[in-house]
Structure 1
Amino acid sequence: MSEVLASINEVIWSDWLVYLCLATGVYFSIRSRFLQVRHFKGMIQQLIRGERSPSGVSSFQALALSLSGRVGTGNIAGVATAIAFGGPGALFWMWMVAFLGASTSFVESALGQLYKTRDPLTGEYRGGPAYYLSRALAHTKAAGFFKVYAYIFAFVTVLACGVLLPGVQSNSMATAIDGAWTVPSGVVAVGAVIILAFVIIGGVKRIANFATIVVPFMAVAYIVLALIVVFVNAAQLPEVIAMVFRSAFGMDSAFGAVIGLAVMWGVKRGVYSNEAGQGTGPHAAAAAEVSHPAKQGLVQSFAVYVDTLFVCSATGFLILSTGAYRVFDNGAEDGNVIAEGGMLSATATVGPQFAQEGFDSVFAGFGSSFIAVSLIFFCLTTIIAYYYMAETNLRFIVGQASKKLIPGINASVGRVTTMALQIAILVAVAYGCINTASDAWAMGDIGVGLMAWLNIIGILILQQPAFKVLKDYEQQKKLGLDPVFNSSKLGITGATFWETYESDRAKRDTAGV
């Protein structure tokens, strides 16, 4: 099975996907005139002033929901893996894919908000790539093709988020817990399943409320303690930063003269962690209550910064400044060690242990427990976010298919398929706890890669509405207005939610409300 997974991974994560991620980020950054820099202030303002309603969560809750999917094992074990197999320079390429990916995140998230709909079963907002792929060009001759494309993406997302990706999170969580407290993986599996079952059955509102409390607290606590470790080792920082840049461009003989592995692992783990272009962010973006799609697009761009430039950087500097790293020459732990910091124990494996031993160098005996606790919260919230995304795409598939069924059984079909998904993700979590780390990561990479291929190609084709949204937002801001969206004014079709929103607003204005 390991060989099969590795072979599939090599095809999906070829150099072409790496180049596609970077090139798309460059293109969207240039076309948007680097909105990720120009609108940084607006990102913060929207988090503070965001709206909410019985159907939609606030911008901050949507950010927390998005971060709950982004901030997970990729920020700890993923960074360690990138450094181990791509050298310290992989951290630079993680920064680069985050900076460029912020513009990609805006485009996909603005589209997610633009083409969202209201779930007839729960009344909550739903949206994401499957929705904008099926709606954006519904009025053209290409409508049939994109409807099929949307189904394919929805199916892949249910498979990825419901089966392939949860195991990576639960595996890292079980590994960290076992390393800290010697708890068998079977016990971790049972505990995780019980906690997750309680939360995911509560729906998006409970998920968002849970994420709003847990994610900001744990992310801040993790960053603060990691920075304390880095400051204790402040004397190493100049050399660490120089080493990152030398390694990133193949100028450090200790890590080889070829930059291909640094780029590959930096982009691969960067996309896995910050999810820019993967198509996951638009799901959380669509759940938000805002008066203009660009508002939530900017908030989701900020989520990329938080994930990679803050959390991943904290892990990277923690590992490198303490010397808690090894670099292998063939992208696997069975390769030759070509460089190491000298801090790690002989038995340390790539993953959470790199960060655990780095913390232990300053907080003796505390590092393993702190990383284990961090991963418990990070991984659980990430799995919960995966479930929400899988459920959203399942709703899309069932909602489209049920139009051909007898109306009276539509609700029953929705409930049965949702229950099946809940069981599937809980099984995937339990299996991930007892699976090998290499197989768990391989399955996760396959899921991320498939979604990224489909979504990036889709948003490159459908980008025009997103830039109309951005231009309209900027024009209203220049006039000193709080931007309010009108899809008809911009000639955007298929945005049925916003058409209804405009109609309702006109009725309120006429009534003087």
Structure 2
Amino acid sequence: MGFLESIFGIIGDLTWGWALIPFLVIFGVFLTIATGWVQFRYFKRMFRVLKGDNQSDDPNTISAREALFVSVGGRVGGGNIAGVAVAITLGGPGAVFWMWMIALVGMATSLVECTLAQVFKRRQDDGSYRGGPARMIMHGLGQDYKWLAVLYAICLIAAFGIGFPAFQGNTVAGAAENSFGLSRYITGAILTVGTGFIVFGGIQRIAKASDIIVPVMALGYIAMALIVIVMNIGEIPGIIAMIVKNAVGIEEAVSGGMGAAIAQGLRRGLFSNEAGLGSAPNVAAAADVKHPISQGITQSFSVFIDTILICSCTAFVILMSDAYQPGADIDGVVLTQNALVSHLGNWTQYFLTFAVLLFAFSSIIYNYYLGENALSFMTPSPSALLIFKFVLMAIVFLGAVAPGATSVFFFSDPMMGVLALVNLLALMMLFPILRRVLRDFDDQLKAGVARPEFKPENFPDLDIDHSAWKG
């Protein structure tokens, strides 16, 4: 075991430690410029997905809005509560500014990866769609790169399908035990049964559950933060000024100054919104939309919700409280909890526990779908998918009842680093195709078409499943 840990430790150092974060930042900036600042050009259009008129007519598929909420449910989690607190503690208030910056360029990255996943999606026998980086590599780059697609699928199953559900189960059980004194076995059993009910219903049930859970958890958490902000409205200009000054080195809140702010802000921001990791495209490809760019715009909005809205809420609550002490050694969740208590009273610690439960549960079902989608690429066997469902339930229960069990899944972060590099490499190679698809969307809008439609026959050189774009 020690040998394996050292091997995966080296992989983690070679990805997250050295190359990946600068690569993600530079690549995001490149995509922003090369696409003509697409995330800003179509910012107003992002809000259309929240309307009720974009539902799919096919009961076997999911709508753009449902895909949005599934991906938001996956992106929003511990990083928005604990991760932001850690970033502020170690990097100072300036870390928040750099989280905002990486989210703005990450919106372009997410749009590109999710658009390409839509272009190369495949219609299944039951009428649903499957896609994502593995299929994007296979059909976009060709059979010669099948090995790269398989490598991506393996890493996706290891990180998101197996490792992270254990951590999420552990987070929920720990929060329930600390706040309510609830046995980990009881929490684990409830979480496992709930997970089983959702995952055995397929992507449609996952989407329907997320369509309910995500708005409740996101709007509830934002509403709580807005109450705190309104109560301390006079402090907002000073807080924003402090964030900016610390970010650019005018003021120093922690050791390391501007460097610490940049490092913590970029790292926590990327971990939170997942732009460029290739996870969200797996869900984005399942949506029934008229044009690939439409779902790309929707998933760009998902990054905005995750970081600009929800992470900012956590940051303001912390920075306006007496609980924040720069450089203090304190658990991230505890800092956020203490900040809420200082503003609104002890009852908020129970609210936060409930929020963590919803965040973690939505992440579990999202992670399951990523693992299932990757497994379906590697084998069409129904029995393999059935076994995976039961394995996931067992992992969730194990993670919940055994506090130290999550240490077994030490391979998750290194595997996520590998799949991110594979995804980014594929995006670079497929970017010319993205430009063509984006130009098609832009041209239709300029011609007065309110809702552009994708016609595969206009791209005869691409391996596109025409049945997935039946019109």
Q: TM above 0.5, one fold? A: yes
In structure 2, the residue matched to 1:403 is none
CA contact (8 A) 2:15 2:414 kept: yes
Compute the displacement of 1:443 (Å): 5.3
| Aligned residue pairs, count | 464
Counterpart for residue 411 of structure 1: none
CA distance in 2, matches of 1:372, 1:418: 32
Separation (CA, whole Å) in 1 of partners of 2:468 and 2:173:
46
User: Residue 479 of structure 1: CA displacement?
Assistant: 1.1
Structure 2 partner of 1:365: 346
CA distance in 2, matches of 1:491, 1:254: 57
In structure 2, the partner of 1:465 is 433
1:60 corresponds to: 65
Provide the C-alpha distance between the structure 2 equivalents of 1:369 and 1:444, rounded to a whole number of angstroms: 30
* Bigger mean CA offset, 125-134 vs 192-201: 192-201
Alpha-carbon spacing, 1:476–1:271, altered in 2? closer, same or farther (3 Å): same
Q: Which residue of 2 aligns with 1:340?
A: none
What is the aligned partner in structure 2 of residue 419 from structure 1?
386
How far apart are residue 225 of structure 1 and its match? 0.6
CA distance in 2, matches of 1:157, 1:50: 30
- Return closer, same or farther for 1:501/1:158 CA change in 2, 3 Å cut-off: closer
Q: Which residue does 1:430 correspond to in 2?
A: 397
Kindly state the Cα deviation for residue 383 of structure 1 after the two structures are TM-superposed.
0.6
The residue that corresponds to 1:493 in the other structure is 462
Contact kept, 8 Å, 2:337 with 2:348, in 1: the verdict is yes
Deviation at 1:469, TM superposition (A): 1.2
Query: How has the CA–CA distance of structure 1 residues 447 and 316 changed in structure 2, closer, same or farther, with 3 Å as cutoff?
Result: farther
Which whole-Å CA distance do the structure 2 matches of 1:186 and 1:158 have between them? Answer: 26
- Mapped partners of 2:296, 2:268: distance in 1: 23
The CA distance in 2 between the partners of 1:471 and 1:394, in whole Å, is: 33
1:39 has 2:6 as partner: no
Rounded to whole Å, the distance in 2 between the matches of 1:172 and 1:248 is 31
Structure 2 partner of 1:148? 147
Tell me the amino acid that sits aligned with residue 432 of structure 1.
Answer: G
Give the drift of 1:437: 10
Partner in structure 2 of residue 410 of structure 1: none
8 Å CA contact 2:445–2:452 kept in 1: the answer is yes
CA RMSD across the alignment: 2.3
Deviations 1:59-101 (A, max 9, x none): 1111111111111122111212222333322222211111000
* Mapped contact 1:165–1:443 kept (Cα < 8 A): no
Q: Over residues 108-159 of structure 1, what are the superposed CA-to-partner deviations in whole Å (9 max), with x where a residue is unaligned?
A: 0001111111233x43211100010010122xxxx41x21100000111011
Partners in 2 of 1:91 and 1:169 — Cα distance? 24
User: Residue 243 of structure 2 corresponds to which residue in structure 1?
Assistant: 244
1:450-503 Cα deviation digits (max 9, x unpaired): 32222112111111222211111111011111211112313441112xx2356x
**In structure 1, C-alpha distance between the alignment counterparts of 2:222 and 2:409, rounded to whole Å:** 24
**8 A Cα contact 2:253 2:326, kept in partner:** no
Shift of residue 442 of structure 1?
Answer: 6.2
The within-5 A match list for 1:96-107 is: 96-107=101-112
Q: Partners of 1:171 and 1:198 in 2: how far apart?
A: 19
Residues 251-278 of structure 1 show CA distances to partners (whole Å, capped at 9, x for unaligned) of 4333124434333322222122111111
Query: Are residues 1:70 and 2:51 paired?
Result: no
Equivalent residue runs for 1:124-135 within 5 Å: 124-135=128-139
Corresponding residue for 1:224? Answer: 223
Cα distance between partner residues in 2 of 1:57 and 1:207: 10
With 81-90 and 300-309 compared, the bigger mean Cα shift is at 81-90
Distance 2:103 2:461 in 1: 29
2:105 is equivalent to residue 137 of structure 1:
no
Q: 97, 109, 118: which is aligned to 1:113?
A: 118
C-alpha distance in 1 between matches for 2:411 and 2:333: 18
The alpha-carbon distance between structure 1 residues 215 and 165, as it changes in their structure 2 partners (threshold 3 A), is: same
The runs of 5 or more residues in structure 2 that have no matched partner are none
Q: Which residue of 2 aligns with 1:202?
A: 201
Alignment-derived partner of residue 417 in structure 2: 449
Question: Which residue is equivalent to 2:374?
Answer: 393
Change (3 A) 1:58 1:456: same
1:47 and 1:492 map into 2 onto residues whose CA distance is: 35
Could you give the per-residue CA deviations for residues 10-56 of structure 1, whole angstroms, max 9, x where no partner exists?
Answer: 33312421111111110000011111111012222244342412332
Code of the aligned partner of 1:296: Q
Q: 2:141 is matched by which residue type in structure 1? A: L
Which amino acid in the other structure matches residue 423 of structure 1? Answer: F
* Secondary structure in 2 matching 1:468: helix
**Residue pairs, 1:314-353, within 5 angstroms:** 314-328=313-327, 337=328, 349-353=330-334
Alpha carbons 2:210, 2:362 under 8 Å: kept = yes
Contact 1:137–1:494 (CA<8 Å) still a contact in 2?
no
What percentage of aligned pairs have identical amino acids? 34
Decide which of 379, 395, 399 is 2:360's aligned counterpart.
379
CA distance in structure 2 between the partners assigned to 1:261 and 1:186 by the alignment = 40
SS in 2 for 1:463: helix
CA positional deviation for 1:246:
3.0
Which deviates more from structure 2 when the two are superposed, residues 37-46 or residues 7-16?
7-16
Q: How far apart are residue 327 of structure 1 and its match?
A: 4.2
